[in-house]
Amino acid sequence: MLEYRAADFPSYRLFINQCQLPKIILLLVLLFIPVMVHAQTVNTLMDRSTAQIKSYALLVDQGYTLDRVRTDTTLRFVPNDSLRPVKATYYWLKVVVINPAHYDEPYNVSVQPSLKNTLYSFDRNSLRWVSQQGGIYAPNMGRRNRNLMTFVAQGHTETTLFIQVDVRYPFDKAIKPVITIEKQAITNRDDQFRLIAWIASLSVLFLFFLNNLIIYFNFKHKIILYYLIVQIGGMIYVTDYKQFFQVLFPCPVFTIGLLPNGQLTHYDLGNLLQHFSIFLILFGLVQLTRAYLNTSTTLPRLDFILRYGLYTYGLLSFILLVINTCLVYLESYTIWYHNVLALFLIGVIIWTCIIGYVRRLPAASPFLLATILPLSFILAISLFHVFVSFNKNEGTLLPDLAIITQALMFSVALVARTKLIQQELMVRNAEALQHLFDMREMELSHQLTELENQKINADIRHEKTKNELLQQRLEINQRELASTTLYMVQKNELLANLKARLVKLTNRHPTVSQQELKGIESILQSDQYLDADWGKFKVHFEQVHPDFFDNLLAKYPSLTKHEIRLYAYFHINLSTKEIAALLNIDPASVRRAKTRLYKKMAVSEPDTPA
């Protein structure tokens, strides 16, 4: 802090004694000095919280020190002049104020433009000139408002203030400095009120946040997650709105802008956090509404508007954030559009809640009651900034009311939602039990089916074994049938040969002895066993072809025994020659008998092997 000791001024008497001018000139000089001293209008600090100084004097700074500015009478201060950055980068402001009170009182003074201003005031306690800096680039002293600089105004005494104004920002026009003085007691009272409101709001939000955080870890429900996001955004927004980020830590300045009224403004980390918090709040509210009312299914059109409205706001905020932090200051020109778009989203959320209530969606009634009050306060904040002022120092309780009511009312909605979820869980538990019983029944049915399949497989294996045995038996019977048939054929051939020999013998020896004829007769006597051979053949045939003769007689009852025997031979595909040998007839007779048989049976005659 810069300090200067007060210089002792020479008395008027010493000044007169040293002058050699005529008395008349001395008299004029003595009369002119008070006029020069009091040429600048004195600003009386009335009993008001804030006063704007209308009278000041301006001096172009050409590297002057405070001592020279204060004591050099040749330096010309121009009353109520404008700052011209194209002419100089630093100016000296001289302000004379008088405190009408009987006691000393501290005041805060701010000067616009406020890049980096330095206030010099006289301290009666230390009898020194002390300095204090304020402005955008002033060192962070843990103050909520960087522009404020403090001085003490003596009671019933004029107080002269010298302020060095930095105008190095490339302004292209003359600017009237704006000097505002406020009682420090008023500032401290306002800061204390803001601090109490901020602590109360954060305490409520933090308690609700912890409670719902525990609930979220237990249920993992996305509705509670969106509610937590809204609370995080609310805590950040309240902290920035009350300008406590500048108290907690330095907020770097990204870009600077000059408003049409000559006020210098800037975009710093606090502005960035403010827009981020607003996006978190809108994101949480939109997603909470969509999830709570299931708008993607119940209200698809409003869900589309909410979703893409949020995307639009997020994209616009990101683009403007990049421009304001990296390129050029646009905050004062785009904040109106930000608030209008936020108004639109809040309005759509309220309308969605009303439509959900009208359509009697599940838990829509408590959600509407929980939404209408905090969203009304949020609407009031946006309307205030759109139509009244963007100044954070005004309307300070609206964010607190919005955030606290949001935390309280949405907790009620979450309780209603929790009850609905519990009912749904009970229904789902009942359905789960029913599904469990059904699955158990299906499992038992599956086991029964497996047992039946095992039984079927066992039966199949048994039948397979049985069929294999039957197949083996069939093959044996077929071999026996073939053997019997072959035997009968050979026997009949033998009989045919014997008959032929008998005929030849009779023809050759008509007078054969009686003994020889008896031998031949004995051989021919064996022909009577032909019927027994047929019976044996029939037994083997029926073993291979069960119920063949019964079915044949049932279908063709007019068939004779000889025709049945002939058809059996045809069925096993014996040749005409073999059948002729078995029946002791010639093959031509077999063919004729076959034709007559199939004609009698009224069936087509198949080919028979020769």
pLDDT at 163: 93
Paired tokens of 388:
């009244």
* Residue (of 85, 87, 126, 132) closest to 109 by Cα position: 132
Alpha helices in 40-158 (DSSP H): 66-71
Q: What is the pTM for the complete model shown? A: 0.63
Write the pLDDT tens digit of every residue in 384-426: 766 666 665 555 677 777 777 777 777 777 777 677 767 777 8
Angle between helix 331-358 and 300-326 (nearest 10): 160
Lowest-confidence range among 421-435, 514-528, 562-576?
Answer: 514-528
- Which residues, at least 6 apart from 506, have a Cβ–Cβ distance to it below 8 Å? 512
Q: What band does 84 get if pLDDT is binned at 50, 70 and 90?
A: confident
Q: What's the CA gap between 565 and 594, in Å, rounded?
A: 11
CATH fold of 3-188 reads Immunoglobulin-like (2.60.40)
Paired tokens of 338:
């930000």
Q: What's the CA gap between 184 and 180, in Å, rounded?
A: 12
**What is the CB neighbour count within 10 angstroms for residue 62?**
9
Question: 63: alpha, beta or left, given left = phi > 0 and alpha = psi -120 to 50?
Answer: left
CATH fold of 190-435 reads Rhopdopsin 7-helix transmembrane proteins (1.20.1070)
Write the pLDDT tens digit of every residue in 508-542: 766 655 556 556 656 554 554 455 667 777 777 77
Q: Residues in the chain, how many? A: 610
Q: Which of 340-354, 557-571, 580-594 has the highest mean pLDDT?
A: 340-354
Strand, helix or coil for residue 51: strand
- Which residues, at least 6 apart from 432, have a Cβ–Cβ distance to it below 8 Å? none
Identity of the amino acid at 426: M
pLDDT at 292: 85
pLDDT at 431: 85
Residue 356 and residue 367 in contact, taking contact as beta carbons nearer than 8 Å: yes
Q: Is the pLDDT of residue 488 over 80?
A: no
Paired tokens of 274:
């403010």
Q: Is the pLDDT of residue 65 over 50?
A: yes
Q: What band does 32 get if pLDDT is binned at 50, 70 and 90?
A: very low
What is residue 102's DSSP assignment?
Answer: S
pLDDT at 38: 40
Q: What's the CA gap between 401 and 510, in Å, rounded?
A: 153
Q: What band does 5 get if pLDDT is binned at 50, 70 and 90?
A: very low
Q: What is the mean pLDDT of residues 577-603?
A: 82
Q: Is the pLDDT of residue 278 over 60?
A: yes
Write the pLDDT tens digit of every residue in 152-207: 988 888 889 999 999 887 667 788 898 999 888 888 888 888 888 888 888 888 88
pLDDT at 67: 92
pLDDT at 17: 43
Paired tokens of 367:
């959600």
Average pLDDT, the chain: 79
Write the pLDDT tens digit of every residue in 336-395: 888 888 889 989 998 998 999 899 888 788 888 877 888 788 777 777 766 666 665 555
Q: What is the mean pLDDT of residues 540-551?
A: 80
Q: Which residue has the higher pLDDT, 303 or 227?
A: 303
Fold match, 3-188 / 190-435: no
**Domain ranges across the chain:** 3-188, 190-435
Write the pLDDT tens digit of every residue in 100-132: 888 888 999 999 888 889 999 998 888 899 999
What separation, in Å, do the N-terminal and C-terminal C-alpha atoms of the chain show?
A: 142
What residues pair up with 112 in beta bridges, in sequence order?
178
Q: What is the mean pLDDT of residues 586-599?
A: 85
Strand, helix or coil for residue 592: helix
* Residue (of 93, 97, 94, 96) closest to 48 by Cα position: 97
pLDDT at 310: 94
